[in-house]
Structure 1
Amino acid sequence: MSRRALKVLVELEFTAVSCPGVHLPDKDDLCLSMSFMGQARQSEGRPAVFPLLLHQRMTFEKIFRHAVDPGDIAVMLEYETVTFELVQLIPPVDDTLACFEEDA
């Protein structure tokens, strides 16, 4: 019996985050955090100045076992949530400044 699986590879490139008129009192570095398909990625820390220039890629890969049709994957992704967070790297606990969630 042959096993079937489909792999989904999502690659996102981030260039900048803008927040017009925002000045942060804390000067600790900022990063962009993203969660998708049960995985989390975080950009490198950048100075707390807007626009936040990232120029980074985040790659998410997941193998859907027992999926035989790309349409099955599309249905499964309808139930996935993508979360973006703008995080200030303040020791000892990071501070989430903004959060955005959307269905995949």
Structure 2
Amino acid sequence: MKFKQRGLEALRSLVQEATTAGVNTEFTQDFGNPGRTICDFAQTWSVETILVGSRGLTGAKEMFLGSVSNYVTHHAPCSVLIVRETLKKHEPKPL
């Protein structure tokens, strides 16, 4: 129950931030297979584009851990924009 409440509080905070920035938002919190849930919501809400993050897992890690972004890309009823995580080890060092 605590986990669910913290999730809802985080979502409400993000909605407030988006509303303040002039972005019309809606949210829901559901549990289950994340990729399938995202695709089901996109179908139900007639979504035009899904924005999903990716940690950039490849090979064995992706096979064992799964990839929500990969699932959504192949099953979504709309366009999908994947945003990859920036790896700090590749960022240039300050001079």
Instruction: Give TM-score scaled by structure 1 length.
Output: 0.21
Structure with the higher strand share, 1 or 2:
1
**Computing the radius of gyration over CA atoms, which structure comes out larger, 1 or 2?**
1
**Length-normalised TM-score, structure 2:** 0.22
Structure with the larger RCO, 1 or 2 (CA within 8 Å, 6+ apart): 1
Determine which structure has the larger helix proportion and give its number. Answer: 2
